[in-house]
Amino acid sequence: MSFSIAGNIRFLTDPRVEQNNSNVVKFLVGTEERKVNDKYVDNSIGCEAWGKLGETIAKNYKKGDVAFMSGSLLLNKWQDKSGENKERHYIRISSIEFVPRVKTSSGSGSSNQWSQNNNNQGPSNDDVDIPF
**Could you read off the pLDDT of 50-97 as tens digits, one per residue?**
999 999 999 999 998 999 999 999 999 999 999 999 999 999 999 999
Q: Where are the domains of the chain?
A: 2-120
The residues near 65 (Cβ < 8 Å, ≥ 6 apart) are 8, 9, 98
Q: What is the pLDDT of residue 27?
A: 92
Residue 104: pLDDT band with limits 50, 70, 90: low
DSSP code, position 1 = -
0.75 exceeded by pTM: no
CATH code for residues 2-120: 2.40.50.140
- The pLDDT > 90 percentage for the chain reads 43
The yes-or-no verdict on residue 121 having pLDDT over 60 is no
The length of the chain is: 132
Phi/psi at 101 (5° precision)? -80, 150
Burial class (CB in 10 A: 0-12, 13-18, 19+), 69: buried
What is the distance between the alpha carbons of residues 81 and 79, in angstroms, rounded to a whole number?
7
What is the distance between the alpha carbons of residues 44 and 61, in angstroms, rounded to a whole number?
17
Residue 12: pLDDT band with limits 50, 70, 90: confident
